[in-house]
């Protein structure tokens, strides 16, 4: 009998996919990533192209798949028909195929499906998508749930919604760190609210969910709804940088269009915490992770 204890990360080149792979490897788990480039295929990099009609078969030792890949750019989702096809048709098709192969599948979704007008929506609350990306993710969740029902595989499917994920290279953090090293001020936005998490936290949390195999809808969230000014202030305090090097402004004042400007970004995690013990990540812990190598 084949040992199916290995993991597959579809979208391993993304921020979340890379963080998840590293977390699995730190735990001694065998993990594969997927690639759309045939010339980059290796023993641990398997070919998968959502747009191809070629059937995808997971490696025989894989029993769990995380589907991280998606079209996520807000502007692209507004204008590009292929983004809709990837998110609403091709991703559910791939997940249905993985379920048919007997895998447990985790699909990564987004807090934006709730619209950003309600504080701390819980895992089973109603959706209220406001932008095309959110609507596509909403429809994708429905299609995936329908496929799992038809396959009688609901006990092998989880949908995990995430809030904003950061690492030191994420915009605008990389430019902030460079500016502060040069003694220059930065201009964070006070009118952009989010509930940040670090990639270290997300990678470890997803790896834990994979080990526990909890079906249903789950949330991973930062514990605090904050502005980018709040984050900048927390970072300079941790780094010992003069707070005068923060010059708050707004996206509106800068004439920058932000497609998704929620009043509330954080997700409630009652069900997730009850079933897994994972709690929202506190802002201080996010800052610690972002500055560990500073």
pLDDT computed for residue 50 by the predictor? 77
Mean pLDDT, rounded, of the chain: 94
Checking if the pLDDT of 17 tops 70, the result is: yes
Q: How does 188-197 read in b/e, with b if 16+ C-beta sit within 10 Å? A: bbbbbbbbbb
Q: How far apart are CA 268 and CA 123, in angstroms?
A: 7
Q: How far apart are CA 54 and CA 57, in angstroms?
A: 10
- Per the listing, tokens 């994420």 go with 170
Least confident of 7-11, 49-53, 139-143, 278-282: 49-53
pLDDT computed for residue 20 by the predictor? 96
Q: How far is CA 277 from CA 20, 44, 185, 215, 269, in A?
A: 18, 31, 40, 15, 10
| Three-class DSSP category at 7 | strand
% of the chain residues with pLDDT over 70: 99
pTM of the model: 0.95
Pairing of strands 216-220, 157-162: parallel
pLDDT average, residue stretch 134-160: 97
* pLDDT confidence tier of residue 1, bands split at 50, 70 and 90: low
pLDDT computed for residue 189 by the predictor? 96
| Three-class DSSP category at 220 | strand
Q: 6-165+196-223+266-281 falls under which CATH superfamily?
A: NAD(P)-binding Rossmann-like Domain (3.40.50.720)
pLDDT in tens, 38-94: 888 888 889 888 777 778 899 999 999 999 988 888 889 899 999 899 999 999 999
pLDDT in tens, 93-143: 999 999 999 999 999 999 999 999 999 999 999 999 999 999 999 999 999
Checking if the pLDDT of 294 tops 70, the result is: no
Q: Write out the DSSP string of 101-163.
A: TT-EEEEEEEGGGGTT-SSS--TTSPP---SHHHHHHHHHHHHHHHHHHHTT-GGGEEEEEE-
Sign of torsion, CA 74 99 12 174? positive
The larger pLDDT score, comparing residue 241 to residue 42, is at 241
Beta bridge partner(s), residue 8: 32, 65
pLDDT average, residue stretch 256-268: 91
pLDDT computed for residue 152 by the predictor? 97
């Amino acid at each position: 009998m084949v040992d199916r204890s290995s993991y597959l990360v579809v979208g391993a080149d993304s921020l979340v996919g890379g963080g998840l792979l590293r977390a699995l490897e730190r735990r001694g788990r065998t993990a594969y990533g997927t690639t759309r480039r045939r010339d980059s295929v290796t023993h641990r990099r398997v070919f998968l192209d959502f747009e191809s009609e070629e059937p995808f078969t997971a490696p025989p030792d894989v029993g769990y798949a995380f589907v991280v890949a998606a079209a996520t750019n807000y502007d692209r989702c507004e204008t590009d028909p292929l983004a809709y096809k990837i998110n609403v048709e091709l991703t559910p098709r791939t997940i249905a195929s993985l379920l048919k192969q007997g895998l447990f599948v985790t699909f990564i979704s987004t807090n934006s499906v709730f619209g950003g007008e309600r504080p701390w929506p819980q895992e089973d609350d109603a959706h209220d998508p406001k932008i095309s990306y959110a609507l596509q993710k909403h429809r994708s969740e429905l299609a995936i749930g329908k496929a799992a029902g038809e396959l009688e595989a609901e006990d092998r499917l989880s949908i995990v919604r995430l809030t904003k994920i950061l690492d030191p290279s994420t915009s605008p953090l990389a430019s902030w760190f460079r500016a502060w090293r040069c003694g220059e001020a930065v201009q964070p936005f006070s009118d952009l609210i989010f509930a940040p998490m670090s990639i270290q936290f997300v990678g470890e949390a997803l790896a834990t969910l994979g080990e526990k195999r909890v079906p249903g809808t789950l949330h991973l969230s930062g514990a605090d709804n904050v502005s980018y000014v709040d984050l900048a202030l927390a970072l300079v305090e941790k780094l010992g940088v003069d707070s005068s090097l923060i010059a708050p402004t707004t996206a509106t004042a800068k004439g920058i269009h932000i497609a998704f400007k929620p009043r509330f970004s954080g997700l409630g995690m009652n069900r997730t915490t009850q079933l897994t013990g994972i709690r929202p990540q506190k802002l201080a812990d996010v800052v610690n992770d972002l500055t560990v190598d500073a």
